[in-house]
Each structure stands twice: as C-alpha cells, then as structure tokens.
Amino acid sequence: MTNPTYTSTTERVQTWLEGRALHIRFNNPARHNALSVDMWEAVPPLLRIAEHDERVRIVVFSGAGAKAFVSGADISQFEDMRAAREAVAHYEQMAETTLTGIHDFPKPTLACIRGWCIGGGVNVAIACDLRIAATDAVFSVPAARLGLGYRYSAMKNLVDLIGPGAAKDLFFTARRIDAAEAKSLGLVSRVGAPEALDALLAEYVTALSENAPLTVMAGKAITREILKPSTDLDMAQCASLIRGCFESADYTEGRTAFMQKRRPVFTGR
C-alpha cells in the first residue's frame, strides 16, 4: 500500500501520521473522552490501513486535553445501547472487535495516558503493548460498582499484565490507584511529570521508528504465543518468524552497521 490517507469516521477520534507513528486520539473532552459508539467503531478501519502501511511502525493512542485518556464508556448511551439483551450483545461485540483489533495488531501499540483512565480506558490501555503515564493519571476498573459483566478477553489482558492477585484486587474493590501504584503493579511501564510526557513519548517513538520492525513484530507475535495455553502454542509460527528475521535484508544491515560502527537503517524487508 502506497501512502494511504487516514480519515476518521467521526470527529470524536482524531488521527494523524507523524514520522513513523500513527496517532489515534480520543476526542470527547466534554465527557472526559468517554467512549461513544462512533468512537469504538472508528478505530478498526484505521488499524486495517496501518497494518499494511510501511510508513507506520508504531500506533499511539492518547486522549484529547489534559484531564483524561479515556474515562470509560459514554454512559449517556447505556440506556439505548445496553437496555435490551440484543443491544447488550451488539455493544459488547463492538467493543470486543475494537479491543481485539488493538491487541492483535501486528505492529507495536502504545497508550500515552494523562488524567482519568477508567473502565474502558483501562481496557484500551491494556490492549496496547506499552503504556506510559503522567504522574496525574488515575486508574480504576469500576465494573463492580456498576453491575457490569466483564468480558473474558478484558479480564485475561488484565491478569496477563499484572497477575491474578493484583487483578482481583483492582476488580473486586473498584478502587482508584495513582500512577505510582500503577507502575509498581506493572500496569504502566514508565511514569513522568505531565510536562515531560511528550518527551517520554518521543523517546519511545524514536526507538520504535529506528529499530528493526521485523524483529519487533516477531517479538510481539512470539510473546502472544507464550501467553497461550501450551496446547495452543504454535511453535512452527515462532520458528518461521525467527527465520524470517535472519533471512531479511535488515539482518544484513544490522550486522553491517555494527561492524562499521554506524546507526543501522532498517527497511522492514
């Protein structure tokens, strides 16, 4: 695919390409970026384009403004979308499609978090590969205060990331935690002052833009295999991914650049 354009299906999701990073920003500041139906539906088409766009090496999710990443689902739509059994099934399938699309996206994804990261916001963040947060970030999974059933995939992502004990603590109590505790639990990787978050994000974007994309994508895919039950582990796929790295032009470039003491220039081929 040659230089595709990225156009969101709703003004509540902003998107732009900056260098090697595709930015997807939730833009519903009047509701602290709560996810409305059109916002859920806007993400998968963007990811389908980015998957085959050689310019894109990382996708960054963020929230508009300084008050929230995502404050949860837009509860003003709950009466319409979750009141009837069929509506519940539709809403859950829509959210599942979006979150699975982020989780299974073959290239690295990163959530850049400021302010509230609640419910659906946590689900978006833990569907990503990497999470960085400002010190003003606040996290919570308030399902138990709302009487909601939580999908298997969302619970599994949380358990895989922070372990069953910490996951049950957050889920059962529905308590709010700050960025420091989120880092101690492994919910986020790095924390910085709000004014330093852009620089921290730039550090990640630069690293992911410059490192060998085939190696990074193979590492992501193999990590996903590791987290599967042993009976479902696809060792043939793992071996194929590793072989593809060693047979690539990027491997030749990496070795040559190392010997020549220069920075490698990887093309993803």
35-58: pLDDT as tens digits = 988 999 999 999 999 999 999 999
- Looking at the domain assignment, is residue 265 inside a domain? no
Beta pairing partners, 17? 22
Between CA 96 and CA 163 the distance in angstroms is 21
- 144 found inside a domain: yes
Which helix H or strand E contains 219, and what residues bound it?
A: helix 213-226
Q: Are residues 116 and 247 in the same domain?
A: no
Domain that residue 144 falls in = 13-208
Residue 91 in domain: yes
In angstroms, the CA 26 to CA 104 distance is 20
- This prediction has a pTM of 0.92
Instruction: Write down the pLDDT at residue 47.
Output: 97
Phi and psi at residue 190, to the nearest 5°: -135, 150
Residues 199, 237, single domain; the answer is no
Residues 178 and 161 both lie in one domain = yes
Name residue 50's amino acid. A
Cα distances from 72 to residues 36, 83, 154, 159, 201, in angstroms, run: 9, 18, 14, 19, 23
Enter the tokens of residue 32.
């602290």
The number of folded domains in the chain is 2
Same domain flag for 114 and 242: no
Six-digit token string for 145: 């205060």
The answer to whether residue 269 sits within a structural domain is no
Nearest CA to 55 out of 20, 22, 24 is that of 20
What are the backbone angles phi and psi of residue 8, rounded to the nearest 5°? -75, 150
> What are the φ and ψ backbone dihedral angles of 18, each rounded to 5 degrees?
-130, 105
- Structure-token match 């859950």, residue found: 92
User: Is 155 in contact with 138 (CB distance < 8 Å)?
Assistant: no
131 lies in a domain? yes
Give the pLDDT confidence of 102-114 residue by residue, as tens digits. Answer: 999 999 999 999 9
- Alpha carbons within 13 angstroms on the beta-carbon side of residue 22 total 29
Question: Which pLDDT tens digit goes with each residue over 3-22?
Answer: 899 999 999 999 999 999 99
Q: Is there a single domain that holds both residue 171 and residue 241? A: no
Residues 227-239: tens digit of each pLDDT: 888 888 899 999 9
**9, 13, 137, 6: which is closest to 74 by C-alpha?**
13
Residue 79 pLDDT greater than 80, yes or no: no
The verdict on 196 and 65 lying in the same domain is yes
Same domain, 153 and 246: no
Same domain? 61 vs 141: yes
3-state secondary structure at position 3? coil
Same domain, 189 and 237: no
Please enumerate in sequence order all residues whose Cβ is within 8 A of that of 206, keeping only pairs 6 or more positions apart, or say none.
Answer: none
| Interatomic CA distance for residues 159 and 75, integer angstroms | 26
Average pLDDT value over all residues in the chain: 92
